[in-house]
Amino acid sequence: MTNKEIAKEFQTLAKVMEYQGENTFKIRSYDKAYNTLRKLDEDLSSKTVDQLQEIEGIGKAISLKIREVIDTGKLPLLERYKADLPEVVLNLMSVRGLGVKKVKQLVTELEIQSVGELLYAAQENRVAELKGFSQKSQATLKNQLEFYQRSLGQGRYADLRPLVDSILDQLKETGATVSETGAFRRQMPTIKELSFVATSEATSKLNELEFKAVAGKQNQLHGKVDEFDVLVHICKQQDFATTLLNTTGSAEFLANHTSLTTTSGATEEEVFAKAEIDFILPAQREGTNTIFTPQSELLLPNQIRGVVHAHSTYSDGATSVEVLAKACKKAGYEYLTMTDHSKVATYANGVSVERLREQCLEIEALNQKLKDFHIFKGTECDIMRDGSLDYDNATLDMLDIVIASVHSVLRMSKEDATERLLTAIANPYTMMLGHPTGRILLSREGYPLNMELILDACAKHNVAIEVNASPYRLDLDWTFVREAVDRGILISINPDAHSLGDIANIEFGVLAAQKAGLRQNECLNTRDTAGFEAWINEQKAKRHAA
């Protein structure tokens, strides 16, 4: 199990104990364990109970429970609490935005037994009649529940990759020719079903895994691996390339390129050539794409030169500025932008002006100390409800880079949310827009925005936009990346690193941007240190021209 999976067990335990009205001190201890464990970089699975106790804030009782989770995959105490709770309670606790008190109120007062029943109650306006609810909060709850239902059975690309690799290895052991296909091969951010193409040798292993023939579908086997839906297309060796091609592209893409589906060849490249179509990479085979970037021009992870958007212990990061900088350098990067949360973000230990000055001094000292690596002083500055920035201009003048992001007051009308961002973008101190829609994949939809107006404003005011490379965000979504680039907007692939392991998020951001055909010269942080600094100076010039 990963550290985050182990931590999640303690978070859930704290919630179910709160629901049951248990001892507040114990609840806090488990919640504290969750917050500690999820930020750790070192692998917990190999640690003994004594070694676990060496972690700050983790005592013997928690250490023993951590080992139980590692050894059994479950937390026995949590399982006992779960056994006493209706399934609907546990399901609603997974709906983002619903606190334990609201869950308890909804379950007990409406006497619902499923998420679907609650959704129906909201449809019938029964939720609005409850104390503390209104028509507006009922509508919000309805949207949350609908999104939860759509999200069931889906997985994030990054989370599913180890499973895909495991399945590939198992099927290849049979001597079969195998490839992933479908949405995963197209590098989609979220995926409902994993698909593979395999030659007939793989059938023995699939039978062992209890895969069954799909009714009405020839040569298709379906099963579950680690509770996730998996579909395998079985074909002859001579049909492998054409089967792979026909199962990779989206339905709309294939409908737009019918000559590909009626052409055969030994390789996909040969099929494209025979159909007289320039080869289109799997990631770009979406019906919404009209521009296809050749493989030789496509942005690659190793072309990113700097780590932009990272958090340290000054706000809610897990490591110090120095440790983070050294890790970035070791990973082969040339520079780091230190962009901790601004002061209003109290939930994330937002940095006061005084502490920001301390951080700037520390960064200046580190830049004298570190060789062939540079740290840029910055902030991820909250965009306030009215579109203003959290720090005053004098404070922002101290910094090299200002990433402006929304983190609070997410429930606004489309018009108000758009106007809020337009105001922030027009601010001459705003250099880059962070995770523009605020979405969290499979948990929270982005707030409503008129993206055409947002992109036009970024182009007008020379504001870059990040593709937040956290697998939980991948925001700006790839479907808007080409629209941004066509307007002359620079894209920055940013890990939003809160721990050392998060630096690797950059790869997932690049994979998402590849779907839009992003090129190296269209990406801001493919520039070397001097080139990135030149962009900073260009941005600072906006302030003086304003």
What is the rounded CA–CA span in Å between residue 369 and residue 56?
29
Cis peptide before 119 (omega within 30 of 0): no
Q: Give residue for tokens 């099927």.
A: 171
Burial letters for 425-440: b for 16+ Cβ neighbours within 10 Å, e otherwise?
A: bebbbbbbbbbbbbbe
What is the rounded CA–CA span in Å between residue 526 and residue 520?
6
Extract the tokens encoding 53. 């106790």
What is the rounded CA–CA span in Å between residue 184 and residue 181?
6
Q: Give residue for tokens 């494209």.
A: 272
Strands 220-225 and 228-235, how do they pair? antiparallel
What is the rounded CA–CA span in Å between residue 82 and residue 225?
24
Report whether 501 contacts 178 (CB < 8 A): no
Report whether 384 contacts 422 (CB < 8 A): no
Percent helix, strand and coil across the chain, each rounded to 5? 50, 15, 35
Report whether 271 contacts 242 (CB < 8 A): yes
| Backbone Cα Rg of the chain | 25
- pLDDT on residue 346: 85
Report whether 382 contacts 341 (CB < 8 A): yes
pLDDT tens for the chain, 546 residues long, are 788 889 999 999 999 999 999 989 999 999 998 988 888 888 888 889 998 988 988 989 999 999 999 999 899 999 999 999 999 999 999 888 889 999 999 999 998 888 888 887 887 778 888 999 998 999 899 888 888 877 787 888 998 999 999 999 999 999 999 999 999 999 999 999 999 999 999 999 999 999 999 999 989 999 999 888 999 999 999 999 999 999 999 999 999 999 999 999 999 999 999 999 999 999 999 998 888 999 999 999 999 999 999 999 999 888 999 999 999 999 999 999 999 999 999 878 899 999 999 999 999 999 999 989 999 999 999 999 999 999 999 999 999 999 999 998 888 999 999 999 999 999 999 999 999 999 888 877 888 999 999 999 999 999 999 999 999 899 999 999 999 999 999 999 999 998 899 999 999 999 999 999 999 999 999 999 999 999 999 999 988 886
In degrees and rounded to multiples of 5, residue 181 shows phi and psi of -150, -170
Q: Does domain 301-343+376-545 have CATH number 3.20.20.140?
A: yes
C-alpha pair distances (Å), 37 with each of 49, 123, 270, 313: 14, 39, 50, 15
Residue 497 bridge partners (DSSP): 310
What is the helix (H) or strand (E) element at residue 356, kind and residue range?
helix 353-369
- pLDDT on residue 363: 98
C-alpha pair distances (Å), 385 with each of 404, 408, 410, 442: 13, 8, 9, 25
What is the helix (H) or strand (E) element at residue 335, kind and residue range?
strand 335-341
Q: Give residue for tokens 């292993």.
A: 205
What is the rounded CA–CA span in Å between residue 318 and residue 312?
6
Report whether 37 contacts 6 (CB < 8 A): yes
For the purposes of burial, counting CB atoms within 10 Å of the CB of 250, is it exposed (0-12), middle (13-18) or buried (19 or more)? middle
What is the rounded CA–CA span in Å between residue 379 and residue 315?
10
C-alpha pair distances (Å), 444 with each of 347, 447, 498: 18, 9, 20
Secondary structure of residue 133 in the 3-state scheme:
coil
Write the DSSP symbol of residue 116.
H
Parse the chain into domains and list their residue ranges: 3-151, 155-284, 301-343+376-545
Secondary structure of residue 490 in the 3-state scheme:
coil
Report whether 44 contacts 74 (CB < 8 A): no
Report whether 334 contacts 305 (CB < 8 A): yes
Strands 220-225 and 212-213, how do they pair? antiparallel
Does the pTM surpass 0.85? The reply is no
What is the helix (H) or strand (E) element at residue 465, kind and residue range?
strand 464-468
What is the rounded CA–CA span in Å between residue 344 and residue 349?
9
Of 405, 361, 411, the C-alpha closest to 379 is: 405
What is the rounded CA–CA span in Å between residue 422 and residue 108?
43
Write the DSSP symbol of residue 446.
P
C-alpha pair distances (Å), 114 with each of 81, 96, 128, 146, 356: 19, 16, 18, 13, 48
Residue 433 bridge partners (DSSP): 404, 465
- At the top level of CATH, which class does the domain 3-151 belong to? mainly alpha
So what's the architecture of 155-284 in CATH?
2-Layer Sandwich (3.30)
34 Cβ contact list (under 8 Å, min separation 6): 7, 8, 10, 11, 14
Residue type, 259: S
* Cα-Cα end-to-end distance for the chain: 52
